[in-house]
Protein backbone atom coordinates (compact mmCIF):
# COMPACT_ATOMS: atom_id res chain seq x y z
CA UNK A 1 0.00 0.00 0.00
CA UNK A 2 1.36 3.41 -0.94
CA UNK A 3 2.07 5.68 2.00
CA UNK A 4 -0.45 8.41 2.70
CA UNK A 5 1.22 11.74 1.89
CA UNK A 6 1.55 14.12 4.79
CA UNK A 7 -0.41 17.36 4.73
CA UNK A 8 2.79 19.34 4.22
CA UNK A 9 3.60 17.31 1.10
CA UNK A 10 0.16 17.63 -0.45
CA UNK A 11 -0.80 20.28 -2.98
CA UNK A 12 -3.25 22.77 -1.46
CA UNK A 13 -6.77 22.86 -2.89
CA UNK A 14 -8.17 26.08 -1.51
CA UNK A 15 -11.91 26.73 -1.69
CA UNK A 16 -13.77 29.90 -0.67
CA UNK A 17 -17.07 29.01 1.04
CA UNK A 18 -19.80 31.69 0.97
CA UNK A 19 -22.80 31.18 3.24
CA UNK A 20 -26.41 32.09 2.61
CA UNK A 21 -28.56 34.95 3.90
CA UNK A 22 -29.18 34.75 7.69
CA UNK A 23 -26.29 32.27 8.08
CA UNK A 24 -22.65 32.68 9.15
CA UNK A 25 -19.35 31.12 8.23
CA UNK A 26 -19.58 28.87 11.29
CA UNK A 27 -23.08 27.66 10.42
CA UNK A 28 -22.19 27.04 6.77
CA UNK A 29 -19.16 25.05 7.91
CA UNK A 30 -21.48 22.75 9.83
CA UNK A 31 -23.96 22.42 6.96
CA UNK A 32 -21.29 21.69 4.34
CA UNK A 33 -19.20 19.28 6.39
CA UNK A 34 -20.27 16.24 4.33
CA UNK A 35 -19.38 18.01 1.08
CA UNK A 36 -15.89 19.06 2.17
CA UNK A 37 -15.19 15.65 3.71
CA UNK A 38 -16.18 14.01 0.41
CA UNK A 39 -13.96 16.38 -1.57
CA UNK A 40 -10.97 15.66 0.68
CA UNK A 41 -11.54 11.92 0.36
CA UNK A 42 -11.67 12.23 -3.43
CA UNK A 43 -8.44 14.24 -3.58
CA UNK A 44 -5.98 12.46 -1.25
CA UNK A 45 -3.01 14.07 -3.01
CA UNK A 46 -4.36 17.50 -2.08
CA UNK A 47 -4.79 19.27 1.21
CA UNK A 48 -8.31 20.70 0.98
CA UNK A 49 -8.50 24.08 2.69
CA UNK A 50 -12.06 25.40 2.95
CA UNK A 51 -12.22 29.01 4.15
CA UNK A 52 -15.52 30.23 5.65
CA UNK A 53 -15.77 34.02 6.02
CA UNK A 54 -18.81 35.54 7.67
CA UNK A 55 -20.61 38.28 5.75
CA UNK A 56 -20.18 41.83 7.09
CA UNK A 57 -23.84 42.84 7.38
CA UNK A 58 -25.30 41.82 10.73
CA UNK A 59 -29.02 41.38 10.27
CA UNK A 60 -31.77 42.73 12.47
CA UNK A 61 -34.73 40.61 13.51
CA UNK A 62 -36.88 42.50 11.01
CA UNK A 63 -34.50 41.36 8.22
CA UNK A 64 -35.29 37.69 8.88
CA UNK A 65 -38.28 36.26 6.99
CA UNK A 66 -40.77 34.95 9.52
CA UNK A 67 -38.69 35.99 12.55
CA UNK A 68 -40.67 37.18 15.57
CA UNK A 69 -38.49 39.21 17.97
CA UNK A 70 -39.28 39.08 21.67
CA UNK A 71 -41.43 42.00 22.80
CA UNK A 72 -41.16 43.54 19.32
CA UNK A 73 -37.56 44.48 20.04
CA UNK A 74 -35.83 44.98 16.67
CA UNK A 75 -32.49 45.74 18.37
CA UNK A 76 -32.14 42.17 19.63
CA UNK A 77 -28.70 40.71 18.86
CA UNK A 78 -28.95 37.67 16.58
CA UNK A 79 -26.22 35.66 14.87
CA UNK A 80 -27.48 36.19 11.33
CA UNK A 81 -25.54 37.83 8.54
CA UNK A 82 -25.89 38.76 4.90
CA UNK A 83 -23.70 39.80 1.99
CA UNK A 84 -26.33 42.41 1.03
CA UNK A 85 -29.94 43.39 1.71
CA UNK A 86 -32.52 43.79 -1.02
CA UNK A 87 -34.36 47.10 -0.80
CA UNK A 88 -38.12 46.76 -0.45
CA UNK A 89 -38.78 50.08 -2.17
CA UNK A 90 -36.18 50.57 -4.91
CA UNK A 91 -37.24 50.14 -8.53
CA UNK A 92 -35.33 48.78 -10.36
CA UNK A 93 -34.04 46.33 -7.72
CA UNK A 94 -31.23 47.55 -5.46
CA UNK A 95 -28.93 45.54 -3.22
CA UNK A 96 -28.02 47.65 -0.19
CA UNK A 97 -24.59 46.93 1.25
CA UNK A 98 -23.41 44.97 -1.80
CA UNK A 99 -20.20 47.00 -2.09
CA UNK A 100 -19.45 46.21 1.56
CA UNK A 101 -20.11 42.51 0.98
CA UNK A 102 -17.87 42.46 -2.09
CA UNK A 103 -15.14 44.32 -0.19
CA UNK A 104 -15.24 41.69 2.56
CA UNK A 105 -14.69 38.96 -0.02
CA UNK A 106 -11.89 40.95 -1.67
CA UNK A 107 -10.17 41.18 1.73
CA UNK A 108 -10.31 37.39 2.16
CA UNK A 109 -9.02 36.86 -1.37
CA UNK A 110 -6.07 39.18 -0.68
CA UNK A 111 -5.19 37.86 2.76
CA UNK A 112 -5.87 34.13 2.37
CA UNK A 113 -5.71 33.49 -1.38
CA UNK A 114 -5.12 32.51 -3.99
CA UNK A 115 -8.18 30.28 -4.10
CA UNK A 116 -8.77 27.56 -6.67
CA UNK A 117 -12.53 27.93 -6.56
CA UNK A 118 -15.61 29.07 -4.73
CA UNK A 119 -18.68 27.29 -3.39
CA UNK A 120 -21.73 29.28 -2.37
CA UNK A 121 -25.23 28.63 -1.09
CA UNK A 122 -28.26 30.80 -1.92
CA UNK A 123 -27.20 34.44 -1.44
CA UNK A 124 -23.65 33.15 -1.12
CA UNK A 125 -24.07 31.43 -4.49
CA UNK A 126 -25.26 34.70 -6.01
CA UNK A 127 -22.18 36.36 -4.51
CA UNK A 128 -19.98 33.53 -5.84
CA UNK A 129 -21.21 34.22 -9.36
CA UNK A 130 -20.53 37.94 -9.05
CA UNK A 131 -17.06 37.48 -7.53
CA UNK A 132 -16.12 34.90 -10.17
CA UNK A 133 -17.12 37.42 -12.84
CA UNK A 134 -15.12 40.22 -11.18
CA UNK A 135 -11.94 38.12 -11.34
CA UNK A 136 -12.26 37.49 -15.07
CA UNK A 137 -10.17 39.36 -17.61
CA UNK A 138 -12.00 42.22 -19.27
CA UNK A 139 -14.83 42.48 -16.74
CA UNK A 140 -13.94 46.03 -15.76
CA UNK A 141 -14.64 47.18 -19.32
CA UNK A 142 -18.16 45.72 -19.10
CA UNK A 143 -18.83 47.81 -16.00
CA UNK A 144 -17.67 50.91 -17.83
CA UNK A 145 -20.05 50.12 -20.66
CA UNK A 146 -23.14 49.54 -18.52
CA UNK A 147 -22.39 52.34 -16.07
CA UNK A 148 -22.89 54.84 -18.90
CA UNK A 149 -26.27 53.41 -19.81
CA UNK A 150 -29.49 54.66 -18.29
CA UNK A 151 -32.13 51.95 -18.32
CA UNK A 152 -35.42 52.12 -16.42
CA UNK A 153 -34.06 55.05 -14.47
CA UNK A 154 -30.82 53.42 -13.32
CA UNK A 155 -27.41 53.03 -14.84
CA UNK A 156 -25.12 50.15 -14.00
CA UNK A 157 -23.20 50.04 -10.73
CA UNK A 158 -19.50 50.97 -10.97
CA UNK A 159 -16.75 48.39 -10.86
CA UNK A 160 -16.21 47.64 -7.13
CA UNK A 161 -13.47 49.81 -5.66
CA UNK A 162 -12.14 46.90 -3.58
CA UNK A 163 -11.33 44.93 -6.75
CA UNK A 164 -9.72 47.97 -8.37
CA UNK A 165 -7.60 48.86 -5.34
CA UNK A 166 -3.84 49.20 -5.87
CA UNK A 167 -2.11 45.92 -5.18
CA UNK A 168 -5.22 43.75 -5.39
CA UNK A 169 -4.40 40.65 -7.41
CA UNK A 170 -6.12 37.31 -7.68
CA UNK A 171 -6.35 34.96 -10.67
CA UNK A 172 -9.73 33.89 -12.04
CA UNK A 173 -11.33 30.97 -10.21
CA UNK A 174 -10.86 27.57 -11.81
CA UNK A 175 -14.38 26.61 -10.79
CA UNK A 176 -17.49 27.74 -8.95
CA UNK A 177 -20.37 25.71 -7.51
CA UNK A 178 -23.68 27.47 -6.93
CA UNK A 179 -26.18 25.74 -4.65
CA UNK A 180 -29.62 27.36 -5.00
CA UNK A 181 -27.99 30.33 -6.73
CA UNK A 182 -29.59 33.22 -8.56
CA UNK A 183 -28.74 36.23 -10.68
CA UNK A 184 -28.85 39.75 -9.28
CA UNK A 185 -31.92 41.24 -11.00
CA UNK A 186 -32.43 44.43 -12.92
CA UNK A 187 -30.26 46.71 -15.06
CA UNK A 188 -27.92 47.86 -12.28
CA UNK A 189 -26.04 44.54 -12.22
CA UNK A 190 -25.84 43.58 -15.90
CA UNK A 191 -22.05 44.01 -16.03
CA UNK A 192 -21.58 40.96 -13.80
CA UNK A 193 -23.33 38.78 -16.37
CA UNK A 194 -23.16 40.34 -19.83
CA UNK A 195 -20.59 41.49 -22.40
CA UNK A 196 -19.24 38.85 -21.86
CA UNK A 197 -21.25 36.23 -19.96
CA UNK A 198 -19.58 34.56 -16.97
CA UNK A 199 -16.58 32.63 -18.30
CA UNK A 200 -15.72 30.75 -15.11
CA UNK A 201 -17.02 27.15 -15.19
CA UNK A 202 -20.04 27.01 -12.85
CA UNK A 203 -21.87 23.92 -11.61
CA UNK A 204 -25.47 24.74 -10.65
CA UNK A 205 -27.08 22.48 -8.05
CA UNK A 206 -30.80 23.12 -7.54
CA UNK A 207 -33.59 21.64 -5.45
CA UNK A 208 -36.76 20.69 -7.31
CA UNK A 209 -38.76 21.55 -4.17
CA UNK A 210 -36.94 24.82 -3.39
CA UNK A 211 -39.60 27.24 -2.15
CA UNK A 212 -37.14 30.04 -1.28
CA UNK A 213 -35.41 30.75 -4.61
CA UNK A 214 -37.74 30.64 -7.59
CA UNK A 215 -36.60 28.49 -10.50
CA UNK A 216 -36.72 31.47 -12.86
CA UNK A 217 -34.14 33.31 -10.75
CA UNK A 218 -31.80 30.32 -10.78
CA UNK A 219 -32.27 29.89 -14.53
CA UNK A 220 -31.33 33.53 -15.01
CA UNK A 221 -27.93 32.75 -13.45
CA UNK A 222 -27.59 29.62 -15.59
CA UNK A 223 -28.35 31.67 -18.70
CA UNK A 224 -25.68 34.21 -17.67
CA UNK A 225 -22.95 31.57 -17.94
CA UNK A 226 -21.04 31.03 -21.17
CA UNK A 227 -21.90 28.06 -23.37
CA UNK A 228 -24.88 25.81 -22.74
CA UNK A 229 -24.67 24.72 -19.08
CA UNK A 230 -27.60 22.33 -19.25
CA UNK A 231 -26.34 20.63 -22.40
CA UNK A 232 -22.88 20.44 -20.86
CA UNK A 233 -24.19 18.68 -17.75
CA UNK A 234 -23.56 21.65 -15.47
CA UNK A 235 -27.08 21.78 -14.03
CA UNK A 236 -27.88 19.16 -11.39
CA UNK A 237 -31.30 18.79 -9.75
CA UNK A 238 -31.88 17.08 -6.42
CA UNK A 239 -35.33 16.09 -5.15
CA UNK A 240 -35.27 18.39 -2.15
CA UNK A 241 -35.67 21.96 -1.04
CA UNK A 242 -33.43 24.87 -0.09
CA UNK A 243 -30.32 23.13 1.26
CA UNK A 244 -27.04 21.46 0.32
CA UNK A 245 -27.81 17.85 -0.61
CA UNK A 246 -25.58 15.40 1.25
CA UNK A 247 -26.53 12.22 -0.61
CA UNK A 248 -23.65 10.46 -2.35
CA UNK A 249 -24.73 11.10 -5.98
CA UNK A 250 -24.76 14.87 -5.50
CA UNK A 251 -21.48 14.91 -3.60
CA UNK A 252 -19.99 12.86 -6.44
CA UNK A 253 -21.30 15.37 -8.98
CA UNK A 254 -19.39 18.16 -7.22
CA UNK A 255 -16.22 16.05 -7.07
CA UNK A 256 -16.36 15.17 -10.76
CA UNK A 257 -16.86 18.80 -11.70
CA UNK A 258 -13.94 20.00 -9.56
CA UNK A 259 -11.69 17.26 -10.94
CA UNK A 260 -12.57 18.15 -14.54
CA UNK A 261 -11.83 21.83 -14.00
CA UNK A 262 -8.54 21.20 -12.19
CA UNK A 263 -7.44 18.87 -14.99
CA UNK A 264 -8.31 21.51 -17.58
CA UNK A 265 -6.42 24.19 -15.70
CA UNK A 266 -3.42 21.88 -15.43
CA UNK A 267 -3.58 21.03 -19.13
CA UNK A 268 -4.22 17.36 -18.45
CA UNK A 269 -6.25 15.40 -20.93
CA UNK A 270 -7.00 12.59 -18.50
CA UNK A 271 -8.16 12.82 -14.88
CA UNK A 272 -5.60 12.19 -12.19
CA UNK A 273 -6.08 8.80 -10.61
CA UNK A 274 -6.77 10.03 -7.12
CA UNK A 275 -9.92 7.96 -6.91
CA UNK A 276 -11.20 5.09 -9.00
CA UNK A 277 -14.21 6.45 -10.88
CA UNK A 278 -15.78 3.00 -10.61
CA UNK A 279 -16.21 3.69 -6.92
CA UNK A 280 -18.38 6.69 -7.63
CA UNK A 281 -22.15 6.54 -7.98
CA UNK A 282 -23.69 7.83 -11.21
CA UNK A 283 -26.15 10.57 -10.19
CA UNK A 284 -28.30 10.56 -13.35
Kindly list the catalytic residues. Answer: 122, 210, 242
Cis before 114? omega within 30: yes
Beta strands in 113-201 (DSSP E): 117-121, 175-179
Task: Identify the CA nearest to 43 among candidates 283, 280, 244.
Answer: 280
How deeply is 27 buried, as exposed, middle or buried, from its count of CB atoms within 10 A (0-12, 13-18, 19+)? middle
Reduced to 3 states (helix: H, G, I; strand: E, B; else coil), residue 203 is strand
Peptide bond before residue 196 is cis, with ω within 30 degrees of 0: yes
Question: What contacts 92, CB < 8 A, 6 or more positions away?
Answer: 151, 152, 153, 154, 185, 186, 187, 188
Amino acid sequence: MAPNPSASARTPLKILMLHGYTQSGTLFHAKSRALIKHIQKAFPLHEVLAIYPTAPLRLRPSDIPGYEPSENNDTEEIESYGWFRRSNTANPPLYQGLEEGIAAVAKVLSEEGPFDGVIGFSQGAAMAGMVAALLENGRKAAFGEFEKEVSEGAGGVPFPASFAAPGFQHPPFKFAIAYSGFRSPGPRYRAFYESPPIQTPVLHVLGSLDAVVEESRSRALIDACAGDPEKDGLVVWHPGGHFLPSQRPYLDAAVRFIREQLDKSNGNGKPKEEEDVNDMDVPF
